[in-house]
Structure 1
Amino acid sequence: MRPQKVLDKEMLEGLTKVFREKGYEGASLTDLAQATGLNKASLYHRFPKGKQGMAEAVLSNVHDWVQGNVFSILQDTTLPPDRRLKDGLNQISILYSGGEETCIFRALSMQVGLDLFAEQINDGMQLWLTNFTKVGLAFNFEKDVAYQHALQTLVAIQGGLVLARIMNDSNIFKQSLQNIENRYLSRV
């Protein structure tokens, strides 16, 4: 058996970059092949479902990264809640390159992508809400207050990303993350 020329990690990074930049509809097979260093036939060999399979693999890969690098911190009851929050927000900054990258949920939730990936995107958003609600509960917020903080956290992250990209100013996203931290800590 021949060794793979393109490692899965590199391939997924290339696919993620294209989907983040062009969305599902805008990403052509040529773009995806160029980003991975594979020809179209090799892409279809690895992803028999074509572009949809590639996007599903990207969603799964991002989910795994978030689970291992963000949610695991937010759930770590050996850390005080303020440390969990701060470290989790730092990892979120890494995920989005300090506000330079588009959220993969946003990129794949336009037009056809929303129809194809609505369940995965909704499930992913629910996990974000659940994990930030747990942080609020660790701060001893009432359950409904913890949930409202979690919801506002998602709004601030997504809104900060959109504005940072539109206005070409990553400081907007960084300030959104700081505002999230301040909002949680001001309730303590």
Structure 2
Amino acid sequence: MNYFCAVMRPVKVDDQQLIEGLNQVFRTKGYEGASLNELAEGAGLKKASLYHRFPEGKKQIGLAVLSYSSDWLTNNLYTVLLDRSKGPKERLEIVLQKISELYDEGKETCVLRSLSMEGGMEIFGEKIKSEMKSWIQHFTDFGLEFGLDEKISLKIAKQGLISVQGSLVVSNAMSDNSLFLDTLEEIRKYYMD
């Protein structure tokens, strides 16, 4: 009996690994720049397997990544902001830490930004806008808990989003993530001062 003739089954890629790999490719390449070969490689799949999981192609993959991103933000930021079993200062610290982890302390790009480049806004614009509105609404509601006036809370929520996104661009361009970390400290001061 020849034991070396056993058929090797392909390694299975779980959904979490799959979507994180796809997310990383879009983060670095953008929507137009990411080829199906790169997406398959990033997901740890053969191109045919990628098509099997996403028969509608790259747009379906982009929507899956955006859905994953939305779920991550909900589970790691918005749920924490709403969790009144902890005090507001503790929640703020947890959320700022999670933002730092999400962007690897400013070394990673935001997938919302990457997918909004080139032709991505035509395809994903409404979903991206919805995610940004959700960020603003949750942080506005959170600011009200600190006793901030609604107008001020809304302004801080918008400025926080702009600052995070802008600092990621500048930090990456200058290879200096301290700019991103400084932004998180500024957000902390918005609420604590």
Same fold (TM > 0.5): yes
- Which residue number in structure 1 is paired with residue 3 of structure 2? none
- Which residue number in structure 2 is paired with residue 133 of structure 1? 140
- Which residue number in structure 2 is paired with residue 152 of structure 1? 159
Which of 42, 46, 51 is the matching residue for 1:39? 46
Aligned residue for 2:147, secondary structure, equals coil
Instruction: Please tell me whether residue 49 in structure 1 is matched to residue 30 in structure 2.
Output: no
Aligned residue for 1:175, secondary structure, equals helix
My pick for the range that moved more, 75-84 or 169-178, is: 75-84
Return the letter of the residue paired with 2:92. Answer: L
For the residues of structure 2 that align with 1:70 and 1:131, how far apart are their CA atoms? Answer: 9
Deviation, 1:3, is 8.9
Return the letter of the residue paired with 2:101. Answer: I
Return the letter of the residue paired with 2:146. Answer: F
Aligned length: 185
For the residues of structure 2 that align with 1:85 and 1:57, how far apart are their CA atoms? Answer: 28
Unaligned runs of 5+ in 2: 1-8
TM-score w.r.t. structure 2 length? 0.92
Instruction: Please tell me whether residue 116 in structure 1 is matched to residue 123 in structure 2.
Output: yes
Deviation, 1:78, is 2.1
Which of 71, 83, 97 is the matching residue for 2:104? 97
Aligned residue for 2:93, secondary structure, equals helix
Which of 74, 91, 97 is the matching residue for 1:84? 91
Instruction: Write the mapping of 1:169-184 to structure 2, written as runs, cut at 5 A.
Output: 169-184=176-191
Aligned residue for 2:116, secondary structure, equals coil
- Which residue number in structure 2 is paired with residue 20 of structure 1? 27
For the residues of structure 2 that align with 1:117 and 1:6, how far apart are their CA atoms? Answer: 26
For the residues of structure 2 that align with 1:158 and 1:148, how far apart are their CA atoms? Answer: 16
Deviations 1:64-107 (A, max 9, x none): 11111111111112222222212111111111111111001100
TM-score w.r.t. structure 1 length? 0.95
Identity of aligned residues (%): 45
Return the letter of the residue paired with 2:31. Answer: Y
For the residues of structure 1 that align with 2:85 and 2:157, how far apart are their CA atoms? Answer: 21
Deviation, 1:4, is 7.0
**Higher Cα radius of gyration:** 2
Against the structure 1 CA distance between its residues 4 and 123, is the aligned structure 2 distance closer, same or farther, given a 3 Å change threshold?
farther
Unaligned runs of 5+ in 1: none
Deviation, 1:40, is 1.4
For the residues of structure 1 that align with 2:89 and 2:13, how far apart are their CA atoms? Answer: 41
Return the letter of the residue paired with 1:12. Answer: I
Return the letter of the residue paired with 1:7. Answer: D
For the residues of structure 2 that align with 1:42 and 1:138, how far apart are their CA atoms? Answer: 48
Please provide the CA RMSD for this pair.
1.3
- Which residue number in structure 2 is paired with residue 71 of structure 1? 78
* Contact in 2 for aligned 1:10/1:36 (Cα 8 Å): yes
